[in-house]
């Protein structure tokens, strides 16, 4: 999706004009893929723009950096305030937010120890990643020929820029084959996650989502919809899923900050019903992120 420029980007402690937020061609992370990032959304609420689970996202950014051995020059609370400043400067009632920490210019080669960490936060308008009607109409999924990373190859628990080469290959393969999104299996052949979303599959009246050991990212939206589903009276558990479990699912959906809650209409051309549990969860999620559900209001951080 194309990016619409906004007024300012926060870079290393300062708000700079959008067109001046630049890096050198020899920036270390551009060459070696060593960076960590987050995807966050701000929604229009009655009290102004509300950033959903902002602090949780910045904690995960710090955790990703720690896994990668990357020193972070800003504390979680500093990044929270910087994000609010970026959103306020944009004047947007709702937007997508991208914080990123990366190794900057000055060192080259695989040794990151001498590198300096730089941090930037940008925001811009961005619609639903898998389509505005993805909850009600669903998306067509394909099991990818590309496997999700093994834990001892590229740590999937870290939201690392280099990890997403794997996801991009799977995404483009699916799009070129006429599908909307890809589902990735781990090296053992079990379901891990999609290219940018966690997946939930209903079997025998309850939802299962792959455990972290499968190679799935510990999703913030995943934990959100798990709480929502349980509060609605649905049973949710972590469980190992085989490819065949996808084909005979009673319902299925994927979720992530960009995709929100999107129903799965088919996997490898096996139709899956768009069911009442998924629709209820998706609608409650849409109300939650906009600060309309009292029990979840603490998740919405107003700018």
291 within 8 A of 41, measured Cβ to Cβ: no
- φ and ψ of 185, to 5 deg: -95, 155
140 and 268 within one domain: yes
109 and 141 within one domain: no
Q: What is the pLDDT of residues 151-193, one digit of tens each?
A: 999 999 999 999 999 999 999 999 999 999 999 999 999 999 9
- Here the CATH number for the domain that contains residue 170 is 3.20.10.10
- Give dist(CA 232, CA 295) in Å, integer: 12
- Give dist(CA 81, CA 74) in Å, integer: 11
- Give dist(CA 202, CA 229) in Å, integer: 12
pLDDT by residue for the chain (303 residues), tens only, comes to: 789 999 999 999 999 999 999 999 999 999 999 999 999 999 999 999 999 999 999 999 999 999 999 999 999 999 999 999 999 999 999 999 999 999 999 999 999 999 999 999 999 999 878 888 999 999 999 999 999 999 999 999 999 999 999 999 999 999 999 999 999 999 999 999 999 999 999 999 999 999 999 999 999 999 999 999 999 999 999 999 999 999 999 999 999 999 999 999 999 999 999 999 999 999 999 999 999 999 999 999 999
What is the reported pTM? 0.96
285 and 142 within one domain: yes
- Give dist(CA 21, CA 23) in Å, integer: 7
Is position 142 annotated as part of the catalytic site?
Answer: no
Q: What is the pLDDT of residues 226-244, one digit of tens each?
A: 999 999 999 999 999 999 9
Q: Which domain holds residue 50?
A: 8-124
Active-site option among 8, 142, 159, 171: 159
Instruction: Using the 3D structure, point to which of 87, 104, 124 is the last residue of a domain.
Output: 124
H or E segment to which residue 65 belongs: helix 54-67
pLDDT attached to residue 290: 97
241 and 140 within one domain: yes
Query: Residue 150 is encoded by which pair of tokens?
Result: 């093994």
Number of domains in the chain: 2
Residue 62 CB neighbour total at 10 angstroms:
17
- Here the CATH number for the domain that contains residue 67 is 3.30.470.10
For residue 298, being part of any structural domain is answered with: no
Residues 6+ apart with CB under 8 A from 78: none
Instruction: Using the 3D structure, point to which of 101, 124, 147 is the last residue of a domain.
Output: 124
71 and 178 within one domain: no
For residue 76, being part of any structural domain is answered with: yes
- φ and ψ of 98, to 5 deg: -125, 100
- Give dist(CA 243, CA 204) in Å, integer: 16
68 and 170 within one domain: no
Instruction: Using the 3D structure, point to which of 72, 106, 124 is the last residue of a domain.
Output: 124
165 and 274 within one domain: yes
Residue 243 CB neighbour total at 10 angstroms:
14
- Give dist(CA 181, CA 169) in Å, integer: 11
């Amino acid at each position: 999706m194309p990016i619409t420029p906004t007024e300012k980007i926060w870079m290393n402690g300062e708000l700079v004009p959008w067109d001046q937020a630049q890096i050198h061609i020899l920036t270390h992370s551009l060459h070696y893929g060593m960076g960590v990032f987050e995807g966050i959304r701000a929604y229009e609420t009655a009290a102004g723009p509300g950033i959903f689970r902002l602090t949780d996202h910045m904690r995960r950014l710090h955790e990703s950096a720690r896994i990668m051995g990357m020193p972070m020059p800003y504390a979680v609370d500093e990044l929270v305030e910087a994000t609010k400043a970026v959103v306020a400067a944009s004047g947007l009632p709702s937007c997508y937010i991208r914080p990123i920490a990366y190794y900057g210019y000055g060192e080259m080669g695989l040794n990151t120890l001498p590198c300096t960490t730089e941090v930037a936060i940008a925001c811009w308008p961005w619609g639903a990643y898998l389509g505005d009607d993805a909850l009600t109409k669903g998306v067509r999924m394909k099991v990818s020929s590309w496997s999700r990373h093994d834990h001892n190859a590229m740590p999937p628990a870290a939201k690392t820029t280099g990890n997403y080469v794997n996801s991009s290959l799977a995404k483009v393969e699916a799009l070129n084959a006429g599908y909307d999104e890809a589902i990735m299996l781990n090296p053992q052949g079990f379901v891990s996650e999609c290219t940018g979303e966690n997946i939930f599959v209903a079997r025998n009246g309850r939802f299962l989502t792959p455990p972290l050991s499968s190679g799935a990212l510990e999703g913030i939206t995943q934990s959100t919809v798990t709480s929502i589903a349980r509060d609605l009276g649905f049973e949710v558990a972590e469980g190992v899923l085989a490819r065949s479990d996808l084909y005979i699912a009673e319902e299925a959906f994927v979720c992530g900050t960009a995709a929100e809650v999107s129903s799965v209409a088919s996997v490898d051309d096996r139709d899956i019903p768009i069911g009442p549990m998924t629709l209820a969860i998706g609608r409650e999620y849409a109300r939650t992120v906009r600060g309309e559900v009292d029990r979840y209001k603490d998740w919405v951080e107003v700018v």
